[in-house]
Amino acid sequence: MSDLQTFLSAVTVEDLERDPYPIYQRLRESQEIGYLPCVDLWFATTWSDVAAVGTENTVFSAELGGNSPLDIAFGGPSVLTMEGPHHLALRQSMDEKYRPKNVSSWIEDVVRPIARAQVAKLTPGKVDLLSQYFEPISVLSLGAVLGVGHLDDSTLRRWFYGLREGAINYESSQDRFAETAIIAREIDETMAEVFDRLERHPDDSTISHMLFTGMPEGQMRSRDALMPTIKVMLLGGAQEPGHGAASTMYGLLSHPDQLGAVLADPSLIPVAVDEGVRWVSPIGTQVRETQADVILGTTTLGKGARVAAVLSSANRDTAVFGTSADEFDINREKRAHAGFGFGRHFCTGHAFSKQQIAIALEELLARFPEMSLNPEHEVRFEGWEFRAPTALHVILK
């Protein structure tokens, strides 16, 4: 066994959850694809290898045979684990609403009032921005565009944390799957009422488009077939903007000069958002299965191998982002990052996510231009599939 494989064999899920970046760095420096027994996945970590896995769909398929943690937890294949015409049709039913130009036409009316209502609840003093500000904006904004705007933020937050337990359950813990199953049943019951309403009165919500767009007159897609994808959106779409915003805000608070630049010139906020999503990618991987024997990097993988294209590692590749790749820096040379994935499974909600984060930061900094990290609380990040601060305690002035 090589030194690298000995190292990887000792890695635990707890190691990945605590801080995966040193593991990713070791793999990138080796220029090899590494197998991690703790999650039964090969890890592609360099920018070039991650891009190859994410884009070469004839070799690396998103279809995982229905036995990935995501498919098991959510009750079947979703838009993330489909290929071919079914994936294309479902993506087309979702994509139109989320094209960047279209998002720009409605996001102010949807997200700005939510952000202003949430910032109005904050008062000077000690605050956890993650749970008291960023997550509520994220889930309420998604609920509004998805078609479940009647649900409160505590319900939506409880849902995405419950769904997450099963979606990343590579240890196949029955307790974690059971926890997700309880949440999934609650979602199914709620969505049955939403489907009934939309069948009678279609609207411009995402779920309505998923039901009807591209279907013959008078027909709609199967409710059961849509449920796994709706759960994906309730997880990723609710989680990514709020957690990306928290990571970005922490990056700014940790670099007062950069925060000062953003306060002096709010047009830099979108730049900070992109850097925050690059620096700590809220969504860590795209998992694929090889359709034939393939050489990736210096490693030969047999047919049926599961490969994680580690987006968060590609975003720290010094060959692309320079020697400061591990640092938060809004002044770095502008270039594309991997925070929203690669290829035909590139995140459909990327424009919505980025603009939502920007609005949340704009409203917060306009109301509280003076704030600091609370020294009583260390900011701790957690996760490898989904990574974010566990809390963001600040003092508002």
What is the per-residue pLDDT across 357-377, written as a single tens digit (0 to 9) for each? 999 999 999 999 999 999 999
Please provide the CATH number assigned to the domain covering 3-396. Answer: 1.10.630.10
Which amino acid appears at position 364 of this protein?
A: L
What pLDDT, in 10s, does the model give residues 299-344? Answer: 999 999 999 999 999 999 999 999 999 999 999 999 999 999 999 9
Whole-number average pLDDT of the chain: 97
pLDDT for position 65: 86
Residue 75: other Cβ atoms inside 10 A: 17
Q: Which of 178, 222, 220 is nearest to 199 (CA)?
A: 220
| pLDDT over 80 at 1, yes or no | no
Q: Where are the alpha helices (DSSP H) in the chain?
A: 3-9, 13-18, 21-30, 47-55, 69-74, 84-98, 100-120, 129, 135-146, 153-167, 174-200, 206-212, 223-232, 238-253, 256-264, 269-279, 311-314, 318-321, 350-367
| pLDDT over 80 at 138, yes or no | yes
Q: Tokens 């943690």 — which residue?
A: 69
| pLDDT over 90 at 31, yes or no | no
Sheet holding 125-128, edge to edge: 125-128, 393-396, 371-373
Determine contact, residues 132/368, Cβ cutoff 8 Å. Answer: no
Question: What share of the chain has pLDDT > 70, as a percent?
Answer: 100
For residues 137-149, give the mean pLDDT. Answer: 98
Sign for the pseudo-dihedral over CA of 168, 173, 174, 178: negative
Residue 209: other Cβ atoms inside 10 A: 21
Q: How confident is the model at residue 48 (pLDDT cuts 50, 70, 90)?
A: very high
pLDDT for position 390: 98
| pLDDT over 80 at 94, yes or no | yes
**C-alpha span between 210 and 195 (Å, rounded):** 11
Output the pTM of the full model: 0.97
Q: How confident is the model at residue 239 (pLDDT cuts 50, 70, 90)?
A: confident
Strand ranges inside 291-343, DSSP E: 294-296, 299-301, 306-310
| pLDDT over 90 at 297, yes or no | no
Domain boundaries, the chain: 3-396
Radius of gyration of the CA atoms of the chain, in A? 21
pLDDT for position 264: 98
Q: Tokens 């609380």 — which residue?
A: 377
For residues 198-218, give the mean pLDDT. Answer: 96
What pLDDT, in 10s, does the model give residues 263-285? Answer: 999 999 999 999 999 999 999 99
What pLDDT, in 10s, does the model give residues 165-194? Answer: 999 999 999 999 999 999 999 999 999 999
pLDDT for position 58: 94
For residues 93-118, give the mean pLDDT. Answer: 97
pLDDT for position 2: 86
pLDDT for position 219: 94
Distances (CA, A) of 84 to 79, 87, 90, 222: 11, 6, 10, 18
The least confident of 16-25, 58-67, 131-140, 376-385 is 58-67
Residue 20: other Cβ atoms inside 10 A: 23
For residues 54-67, give the mean pLDDT. Answer: 94
| pLDDT over 80 at 158, yes or no | yes
For residues 64-82, give the mean pLDDT. Answer: 94
Q: How confident is the model at residue 109 (pLDDT cuts 50, 70, 90)?
A: very high
Q: How confident is the model at residue 262 (pLDDT cuts 50, 70, 90)?
A: very high
